[in-house]
Amino acid sequence: MGIAVVCNLLPLCFFKYFDFAAAQIRSLIGLAGIDVDFGSTGVAVPVAISFLTFHGISYVVDIHRGKVQASRSLIDLLLYISFFPHLVAGPIVRASEFLGQLAKPSDPRNIDLGGSTLLILGGLFKKVVVASHLSILFVDPVFTNPQAYGSVDLILAVYAYAIVIYCDFSAYTDIAIGVADLLGYKFPRNFDQPYIALSLQEFWRRWHITLSTWLRDYLYIPLGGGRGGSWLTYRNLILTMVLGGLWHGAGLQFIVWGALHGFGLAAERLMRESTDASGRFRQFLRSEAGQTLRWLVVFNFVCIAWVFFRSPDAAGAVDYLATIARRVGDRAPLTVSPLVLVLMMAGFLTQLLPPSAYEAADGSFRKIALAGKIAFSTTAIWTVIMLAPSGMAPFIYFQF
């Protein structure tokens, strides 16, 4: 198993992290006055190499743990590794969730046409209408040149990016889940109203669910999880999130982003362990006012951490936050438009929709005649196309 895991990791480390690691080592050695050039790979990162690696590792580890039987069909295994709907940006599907579906042919009568169609249409709306316009009209200009904007615009751009990355990423996974279902395969859910979380732990149970559970099962638990005492647990949480951040990209900004969440999770656990269950503070946190305060703290913490995720480098993120601090109370004119505010509101409302809302919409869609379903879908797609901006950027997670 160890050899198999290493064989999965070697291509990822070479293509994605060699240049970054070489640059960091060269800088450290340079402090001693020694100039060493490690060279460069000189090649682009292969498409979806991170997700291919995750699927390969989970497969061999689950076989070792006895959670799944080794596939006797090379074609089935290759299909699992490279199934196109979720290949580039997830969700991360376990072998136990996918290979079993290949054991027998899919029954077309079990395909949820209505639910799949609504997922795909909802994903198109979130990506094309909300995320793309917010990025082009507001987020990209502000993050590109923060010095040209006042503190209010800078703060609003942080919240706008939180909406952008949710709408962009959840849109891809919704489309992937819908397309897979139309082909007869069931994918796990990847988002569950993440911005209503009252703790960072809850946030990660709701955000990129397949990644957070993957990190838990294949990194946090093998490191020791919560079995080695409090301080080892804190270490495991921080290390898991730092490596999770590094997985997103070979850059210091992603490491800082992961470290912020790791230290935040450790701080939450320390607070829970040091607070008496019957204490007034614990009772306050359970009250309506306490829950509101918890939501505000968690949401703003997540949004501030997103600054590192969005910025081209860690220095740019620090400069962005410092610019906000320097310009608090300034009277710079607002540049945010009413359309941007409407899009932000629409984007935030999309993540407030509970699963029951999709189920209700699916039930209504099922009652429509086939001609009506075709007309509705065609009209919705045409509307999205008409509202699409020119030169729309690819999905954010395509770079990972």
Q: Are residues 219 and 337 in the same domain?
A: yes
Q: 280 with 196, same domain?
A: yes
Here the contacts of 378-385 (C-beta below 8 Å, separation 24 or greater) are: 380/121, 380/124, 380/125, 381/121, 381/124, 384/121, 384/124, 384/125, 384/128, 384/129, 385/128
First to last CA, the chain: 25
Per-run averaged pLDDT (10 residues), the chain, 400 residues: 93 88 83 78 83 91 92 91 85 89 82 88 94 94 94 95 96 94 91 95 95 94 88 94 90 95 94 69 80 95 96 94 88 89 94 81 85 90 90 77
In a domain, 389, yes or no: no
One domain for residues 237 and 146: yes
| Shared domain check, 150 and 82 | no
Fill in the amino acid letter for 335. Answer: T
d(CA 62, CA 79): 17
Long-range contacts (CB closer than 8 Å, 24 or more residues apart) made by 51-54: 51/86, 51/87, 51/88, 51/89, 51/90, 51/92, 52/81, 52/82, 52/87, 53/8, 53/9, 53/11, 53/12, 54/92, 54/214
169 domain-assigned:
yes
- To the query of whether residue 248 is one of the catalytic residues in this protein, the response is yes
User: Is 124 found in the same domain as 99?
Assistant: no
Q: What was the pLDDT predicted at 165?
A: 96
Q: Is residue 130 part of a domain?
A: yes
Same domain? 82 vs 120: no
Q: Which of 68, 86, 105 is the last residue of a domain?
A: 105
| Structural domain includes residue 125 | yes
Is residue 383 included in any domain, yes or no? no
Same-domain check for residues 86 and 119: no
* 327 part of a folded domain: yes
Residue 292 lies in a domain: yes
Is there a single domain that holds both residue 97 and residue 197? no
pLDDT reported for residue 162 = 97
Nearest-CA neighbor of 82 among 108, 107, 63, 54? Answer: 54
For 254-270, b where at least 16 C-beta lie within 10 A, e where not — what string?
bbbbbbbbbbbbbebbe
Residues 26 and 164 in one domain: no
Cβ-contact 175, 119 below 8 angstroms: yes
- The count of domains in the chain is 2
Q: Kind and range of the H or E element at 223?
A: helix 221-223
Same domain, 132 and 71: no
> What is the C-alpha separation between 288 and 294, in angstroms, rounded?
10
Q: pTM for this one? A: 0.91
Domain end call among 44, 75, 105: 105
Check whether residue 149 and residue 240 sit in a common domain.
Answer: yes
Tell me the residue range of the domain where 119 lies: 114-347
- pLDDT value of residue 190: 93
Does a structural domain hold residue 363?
Answer: no
d(C-alpha 212, C-alpha 219), whole Å: 10
Are both 91 and 174 inside the same structural domain?
no
Cα 264–21–53 angle (5° rounding)?
75
Residue finishing a domain among 81, 105, 129? 105
